[in-house]
Structure 1
Amino acid sequence: MATETVKIDAKLVKELREKSGAPMGDCLKALQESNGDMENAFVVLRKRGMASAAKKASRTTNEGAVGTYIHAGGKIGVMVELACESDFVARTEGFQELLRDIAMHIAAVDPRYIGREEVTEADIEREKEVYRAQAAASGKPANIIEKMLEGKMGKFYEEVCLLDQPFIKEQSQTVAQIIATQVGKMGENIAVRRFARFKIGEPTATFAQAKQVVAEEPQA
């Protein structure tokens, strides 16, 4: 016996469309799956956006734009290169807004790296040594210390890696999740390629650049 389709008010579909930026058809399906619950439907769309982002992550990003953000009366400045697949998407309002938001986030939170893969081995080992020493001083057994170390390193990555940080305008999501949502909306791979953060009075600026991964072209 066929399952009865839940009837959804067109106003709800429109509201979810405005909130998520997802296509009307996807919004309707998400609301039907969620029995008309707006918050659950938004979660459904976010999950689909993350899955879509994962599928597109290996696609080459040769287009994009450079954005800037100046804060605190000219005392802090950020420049970010955000990459995508086409010049068309790079020029859209949504992409430009994402670029500004990421630059603003970097100005406020001051990450040192883009992602975990950019963290140097020297930094990782130094942090691990500190955490192991702290844990050992507590007298806990080795297996517990290693579990504590995993949690400490996760917190460390959250502090220094842009993609792991809670987004400044939406603390319930990381910067990586914010980008993934936009990938789902725009239908293209989007990646932070590099950034620089300058602050008056500091001797050097913070520079970060993602490791370049070139996707192989599919065989004909």
Structure 2
Amino acid sequence: MADITAAKVKSFRERTGLPLMECKSALTEAGGDEEKAYDILRKRGEKLGDKRSDRETAFGRFGLYCGLDKAVGAIVELKCESAPVTQNEEFIRLADDLAKGLADTDQEITSADELLALPSPSKPEMTLGEQKAELFNRIREKFDVGRMSKLSGSCGGYCHNSGTVAGVLIQVAGGSDETAKDVAMHIAAMRPEALSTEELDKATIEKEREILRAAALQEGKPEGIVDKMVEGRLRQFFAERVLLEQPFVKDDKQSVGQFAKGNGMEIKKFVSYVLGQS
């Protein structure tokens, strides 16, 4: 039997991040061979992962890859079981690697399994799935890859509360990283439903128009001016729901559209996620 010294167990623990006794058990089973012991721990982790597959992942963070100097931007939701794990450096790296992996690939990725099959940007000898499995084996907590989006062209972004509450990715033309981030912060705070009035659901607009018209008639307003009143009140409706019409949170004397135009930036598209919400 190989001599499993305390120093060897300690060194192996530093590599795996697992409890000393579990490391010693794997080394003993492997006859002191670290690589075999590592494989033993990996297989044990896979079995444990299967047992924990039904656990709830109510916490997490967003990985974000963006920049006006980049040809593409991406955002990925990575969920976990507990709040402390969201601050773990390796968990943060995995979330960011997922976003960068999504941005870097030419493949059309439509599922978590397809994303996890891609190479890891920070650990090229591994796939993202292997990186995720290795991290699970260290932390022993279930991770789920949730929603993901990729936008072509220059993108800005913002993750609220270090990415643990909300994440925003916006596609822009012109402007700067800072102005793009300012708009992304606004989106995270105000959660618009659409970029422009043209993109707002037409049925929603017509329903609101009918409600406003009925209210104006009930107030006894002459039919001749009701339509003008309704259109005026619809502007407030748009200002609450449409990004370009919303008062800018950093300066409510101008709309987001006016802020963007004043900074030479056109907002083309945005993706806004709140953790755990569909």
TM-score bucket (shorter structure): 0.5 to 0.7
Match of 2:185 in 1: none
Give 2:146's match in structure 1, choosing from 193, 199, 206. Answer: 193
Match of 2:59 in 1: 63
Give 1:10's match in structure 2, choosing from 6, 10, 13. Answer: 6
- Alpha-carbon separation, structure 2, partners of 1:16 and 1:10: 10
- Alpha-carbon separation, structure 2, partners of 1:11 and 1:192: 37
Verify: 1:178 aligned to 2:131, yes or no: yes
Matched residue of 1:105: which SS? helix
- Alpha-carbon separation, structure 1, partners of 2:115 and 2:17: 24
| 2:101–2:118 contact (8 Å) kept in structure 1 | no
- Alpha-carbon separation, structure 2, partners of 1:184 and 1:99: 17
- Alpha-carbon separation, structure 2, partners of 1:72 and 1:8: 53
Q: What does the per-residue CA deviation read over 1:148-172, in whole Å, with 9 as the maximum and x for residues that have no partner?
A: xxxxxxxxxxxxx113334444456
Unaligned runs of 5+ in 1: 117-160, 213-220
Give 2:111's match in structure 1, choosing from 110, 114, 117. Answer: 114
| CA positional deviation for 1:54 | 1.4
- Alpha-carbon separation, structure 2, partners of 1:43 and 1:167: 20
Look at both structures and tell me which one has the larger radius of gyration over its CA atoms: 2
| CA positional deviation for 1:97 | 2.0
| 2:64–2:99 contact (8 Å) kept in structure 1 | yes
Kindly report structure 1 stretches of 4+ aligned residues shifted beyond 4 Å.
168-173
Matched residue of 2:64: which SS? strand
Match of 1:47 in 2: 43
| CA positional deviation for 1:174 | 3.6
Q: What does the per-residue CA deviation read over 1:112-132, in whole Å, with 9 as the maximum and x for residues that have no partner?
A: 12246xxxxxxxxxxxxxxxx
Unaligned runs of 5+ in 2: 155-170, 172-267
Match of 2:27 in 1: 31
Give me the identity figure in percent: 31
TM normalised by structure 2 equals: 0.50
Give 1:87's match in structure 2, choosing from 78, 83, 87. Answer: 83
TM normalised by structure 1 equals: 0.61
| 2:63–2:97 contact (8 Å) kept in structure 1 | no
Give 1:100's match in structure 2, choosing from 96, 103, 109. Answer: 96
| CA positional deviation for 1:32 | 0.9
| 1:85–1:189 contact (8 Å) kept in structure 2 | yes
- Alpha-carbon separation, structure 1, partners of 2:14 and 2:44: 17
Distance 1:47 1:78, change over 3 A: same
Relative contact order, higher structure (CA 8 A, sep 6+) = 1
Question: Which has the higher mean CA deviation after the structures are superposed, 161-170 or 28-37?
Answer: 161-170
| 1:30–1:45 contact (8 Å) kept in structure 2 | yes
How many positions carry a matched residue from both structures? 160
Match of 1:155 in 2: none
Q: What does the per-residue CA deviation read over 1:34-72, in whole Å, with 9 as the maximum and x for residues that have no partner?
A: 111111111111111111211111111111111212379
Q: Which amino acid aligns with 1:164?
A: A
- Alpha-carbon separation, structure 1, partners of 2:112 and 2:54: 15
| CA positional deviation for 1:7 | 2.8
| 2:75–2:148 contact (8 Å) kept in structure 1 | yes
| CA positional deviation for 1:81 | 0.9
- Alpha-carbon separation, structure 1, partners of 2:80 and 2:53: 11
- Alpha-carbon separation, structure 1, partners of 2:68 and 2:48: 37
The RMSD of aligned alpha carbons is 3.0
| 1:22–1:45 contact (8 Å) kept in structure 2 | no
